[in-house]
Amino acid sequence: MIESDRPPMGELPGSTPLFGSGARFALSLLELATHPTRMIAKQQTGQAIDHVRAFVFLLGSLAAGSLLVLLGFQLQGAGSTLAELARRFIGGSLGLVLAGLVITTLLSIALMLAWRVAGRQVELQQITLVMAYVVSGAWLGIAGGALVFGFGASFYDPGWFGDFARAIGFGVEAPGAFGPVPERRLGLQAIPAVAGLGTGALTWVFTALWCVVAWGAFRQSFGVTRGRAAAATAVWLLLLGSVFGVGGLVARQLAAESVPEVSRAVQQR
């Protein structure tokens, strides 16, 4: 075949639009994981399509990470039907994706205020463009760690997530209503259990280090000094700490008020 007669890459057999999009997404994830600041800088061309690509990338990352988290938490029960599993995974994925979008927006607003306090006027669109990729990488790292951690925890206690959910208030039973913890003899199962728990924790450590490196994309995008970037980050952390502190106080107050109701519900059973 003459070189000029070769069809374009998009027309080669097996190179469907869906396959091409998936391949580009996978390559972008690989570059984001290995060279986050360079990958994020390449996405900023000054065109309106940059924000669309960032939003689609964030949606894909949130959806993929949500599936990993749900698989790691092992929502399937002993008597779960296929319809129940589908409902749990679809509902859980949608909930996590929506929560991720809300959290990304709130983090971006707080960071915009922090940069303005630090003396750099930036627009929210500039923040969200970079934040979308930072949150995507961080969420996939957390989700990957949760998948491996849940795999290791399942060898120690197959129902660990159900007990954990009930212990933090997502069940009717009170945390002390389960009786003594049975003694477990893992034997050879201790090997995958320890490997899964250790690998999951190590994945979270690497994710935290990756976030520190990827955070430099904001400084590069705005062309500021390290001192001003550090000041903006400090103000941002202070804002987040204040919000979490107030939220923790409110949650503690609500939990204290709900304890008598849970106790009465347990006594009536």
What pLDDT does 34 receive?
Answer: 92
Mean pLDDT of 31-57: 91
Q: Are residues 40 and 131 in contact, defined by beta-carbon separation less than 8 angstroms? A: no
pLDDT tens-digit profile of 142-183? Answer: 999 988 888 877 776 655 555 555 544 444 344 444 444 444
Q: What is the DSSP letter of 118?
A: T
What pLDDT does 26 receive?
Answer: 83
**Most confident by average pLDDT, 8-12, 158-162, 254-258:** 254-258
Which of 51 and 156 is assigned the larger pLDDT?
51
**Degrees (nearest 5) of the Cα angle 77, 174, 247?**
95
Residue 239's alpha-carbon distances to 131, 233, 236, 249, in angstroms, are 17, 10, 5, 16
pLDDT exceeds 90 at position 204: yes
Mean pLDDT of 76-88: 66
pLDDT exceeds 50 at position 8: no
What pLDDT does 20 receive?
Answer: 63
Give the Cα separation of 69 and 143 in Å (integer). Answer: 5
What pLDDT does 182 receive?
Answer: 47
Return the closest-CA partner of residue 54 out of 123, 130, 126, 106.
130
Q: Quote the tokens at residue 70.
A: 């749900």
Using 50, 70 and 90 to split pLDDT, how confident is the model at 189?
Answer: low
Return the closest-CA partner of residue 196 out of 158, 151, 159, 143.
151
What pLDDT does 168 receive?
Answer: 43
Task: Please tell me whether residue 185 adopts helix, strand or coil conformation.
Answer: coil
Q: Name the residue type at position 197.
A: L
The pTM is what?
0.75
Residues 6+ apart with CB under 8 A from 216: 37, 229
Give the Cα separation of 91 and 135 in Å (integer). Answer: 21
Computed over every residue of the chain, the mean pLDDT equals 78
**Most confident by average pLDDT, 1-10, 13-22, 204-213, 217-226:** 204-213
Which of 106 and 157 is assigned the larger pLDDT?
106
- What is the CA 267 to chain-centroid distance, rounded? 38
Could you tell me what percent of the chain has a pLDDT over 90? 38
Which of 258 and 109 is assigned the larger pLDDT?
109
Q: Are residues 114 and 239 in contact, defined by beta-carbon separation less than 8 angstroms? A: yes
Q: How many residues does the chain have?
A: 269
DSSP 208-231: HHHHHHHTHHHHHHHT--HHHHHH
